Amino acid sequence: MKKSIFLVAITLIFNLTLSSFNLSAQESFKIVRGKSDTVYTPVHYIVGVAPGGSQIFVNDLPSKQYKTGSFGSELRLVPGDNSVRVRVITNGNENIENFVVYYKLLVPVTVPADTVPYTGRVVVTREGAYMNYGAGQDRLGGAKINYLAEGIRMELLDSAQALYKVRLSENSYAFIPKSLVNHEPAGTKPPFSLTSSWSVSNAGNTDIVRVALEKRLPYTFFKELEPNRIVIDIHGAACNTNWITQYLNLKMVDYVDYDQIAPDVFRVYIYLKDEYCWGYKVDYSGTSLVVTVKHTPAPAYKGTLAGLTIGVDAGHGGPKSHGAVSPSGVREKDLNLAMTYMLRAELEKRGAKVVLSRPDDNDVAMSDRIKIFANANVDMMVSVHCNAGGNPLRPMGTSTYYKHIEYRELAKTVLERLTELDVNNFGLIGNFNFSLNSPTYWPNILVETMFMSSLPDEELISDPLFQRMMMNKTVKGLEDYMKKVKSSLKKGAKR
């Protein structure tokens, strides 16, 4: 009994102490923050302490009181004098304190203009812009670095036929199609920016890395397998990043880091948790560089195709784009379309949703095919073609193609299944500069089934039964790939 009385007494003393925190015997309440003569921001906070159980009003609006006796309110100030009235009612007794807070607008600091005007020329990217490594060309165009967001300004260095040579940073340059840039007015300078704070957050089906910049700058990026990371170089940027906010509910991003690899090149590292990458893209939102990293889709944890959305592309099409034509007159576009329907049927049997870029004999632009797949938010993409060239009397065989190293394993796994048909292995082709292999936002491969120009290959690929066998093997390869993904996820969970 004595022990219980002691505990009650201690509790009462504690509560009384809280309710009178920082109050003298003569004070009914006290303002501890906010009685400032002059402030420079429109958001202002009033914080005080009053006896427990008080009713508190700041400018006639109720203010929450906490168990400690503390209370607080947020005010929105206007330029000039702002009257503040704090009213506290305790046990029926009312006490009021009035004061004024002056909000002073800061006058922007004017930076003197350079005495030497800029005499160079600057171009700005349009929608769909991309950069090439050099001025070389072949039937697939020049070797691409990556696509760029619109609104990025770069110094114009030179002209090479249909391309401009542009400066990315002091020691880096690239080539960009003239049709994909506009010229800026004379005197416009190339941009330079300091980096600011970052954030890394989970947006539902993606993780978002956001790097604050003052201006839109050119960037290059690539994926590495070991270590498992995405690397982005921001050209024309210097580090002023003092914190990076990384939330604990990230699904694909493990952590991020950076390095100033040159005085005007800021490198971003995004380390990934899962071994297999399901796509990412780099873009701008305002002047913030935003990297969107797709989460591993739920079906991958089961190792099946069921539940995936798969883009299927039939190469060529329409009255002008026949593709290769065999010696007997078989047109590639017709075979491609027939095989994509066979591929769709096999995928749908396994529970996948299929999106066709060309469901009939139409010539669909490459940019439109990419948009179709992007709008459908596909999980992966397979483009079906037939090849041509080489010795017409020799079996040439089958091959698969990829551009980005993170999708090499997908192309390799499908090729291993295709070559089970006892056809020649024409090769696993990397860094392939095909438009539909360019996107990084979903795993993608090109399947070149057989050679239209080879008489032995033509005989095989003209047979609908053999076409179906090839598409079945393609699906088997996709299933094998999903099993590899599932296995890697199990290993990752054990670490």
What's 405's DSSP letter? Answer: G
pLDDT at 350: 98
- pLDDT tens per residue across all 495 residues of the chain: 545 544 444 444 444 444 444 565 457 899 999 998 999 999 999 999 999 999 999 999 999 999 999 999 999 999 999 999 999 999 999 999 999 999 999 887 665 656 678 889 999 999 999 999 999 887 778 899 999 999 999 999 999 999 999 999 999 999 999 999 999 999 999 999 999 999 999 999 999 999 999 999 999 999 999 999 999 999 999 999 999 999 999 999 999 999 999 999 999 999 999 999 999 999 999 999 999 999 999 999 999 999 999 999 999 999 999 999 999 999 999 999 999 999 999 999 999 999 999 999 999 999 999 999 999 999 999 999 999 999 999 999 999 999 999 999 999 999 999 999 999 999 999 999 999 999 999 999 999 999 999 999 999 999 999 999 999 999 999 999 999 999 999 987 766
- Residue 344 pairs in a beta bridge with none
Q: With the C-alpha atoms ordered 487, 491, 492, 493, is the resulting torsion angle positive or negative?
A: positive
- Residue 360: CA count within 13 A, CB half-sphere: 1
Q: Are the C-beta atoms of residues 81 and 102 closer than 8 Å to each other? A: yes
Give the whole-angstrom CA distance, residue 168 versus residue 132: 12
* Rounded-to-integer distance, Cα 276 and Cα 225, Å: 9
Instruction: Judge whether 256 and 207 are in contact, CB under 8 Å.
Output: no
Q: Are strands 121-125 and 153-160 parallel, antiparallel or unpaired?
A: antiparallel
Structural domains of the chain ordered from first start: 20-103 (2.60.40.10), 121-183 (2.30.30.40), 194-296 (2.60.40.3500), 300-486 (3.40.630.40)
Q: Are the C-beta atoms of residues 167 and 193 closer than 8 Å to each other?
A: no
Distance separating alpha carbons of residues 294 and 80, to the nearest angstrom: 49
Whole-prediction pTM: 0.83
Collect all residues with Cβ–Cβ distance below 8 Å to 11 and sequence separation of at least 6. none
Three-state secondary-structure class, residue 210: strand
* Residue among 245, 233, 236, 259 at smallest CA distance from 209: 245
- Side chain identity, residue 487: S
Residue 192 neighbours by CB distance under 10 Å: 14
The strand pairing partners of 238, in sequence order, are: 194
The one-letter code for the residue type at 264 is D
Strand, helix or coil for residue 459: helix
Phi and psi (nearest 5°) for 32? Answer: -105, -15
**What is the reported pLDDT for 494?**
65
Return d(Cα 451, Cα 386) in angstroms, integer: 6
Cα 89 to Cα 26: distance, rounded to the nearest angstrom: 15
Contact criterion met (CB below 8 Å) for 193 and 157: no
